[in-house]
Structure 1
Amino acid sequence: MKPEQGVRLSLTPEEALVLFEWLVREDGAGGLTFAHSAEERVLWGLEAQLEKSLVDVLAPDYAGCLAEARQRVLSPGPL
């Protein structure tokens, strides 16, 4: 793969919010173990990209937005 091509991932807004919350929580808890420091750096980069693209992170009712996103992720059918 050429570096300028990159890799695209597709997440629904709900999936992105749930993933962001998990990354923030695990990063803060220090509970993740890494085989190489590059793995940690990749997760930090992913967390930063999600934070920039998610408007719900700044919502006054972030906990409510997160709860709704989690429920939608678990609901059957397309998001």
Structure 2
Amino acid sequence: MSKQVNITLTEDEAWVLFELTRRFSDSNKFNIEDQAEERALWNLCCIFEKTLHHESAIEYKEFIAQCRDRLRDES
């Protein structure tokens, strides 16, 4: 079972990211429609960089592959 990670967003960041992901969910196309969406993604990336720490003995690419495997829907 994966550990939980808590992040804090401003309400504006949350709404902008919600709209971006909602559009993606509806269309299956990832398009930035406004510079604010780009800024919100950059801010989220910065939060992840401060929060996440890869402390595993395996290579980063393999670590990400394992994370993806655990996250995928079961077939």
State the TM-score, normalized to the length of structure 1: 0.47
Q: Which gives a bigger RCO, structure 1 or 2 (Cα 8 Å, sep 6+)? A: 1
State the TM-score, normalized to the length of structure 2: 0.49
Query: Which structure has the larger Rg?
Result: 2
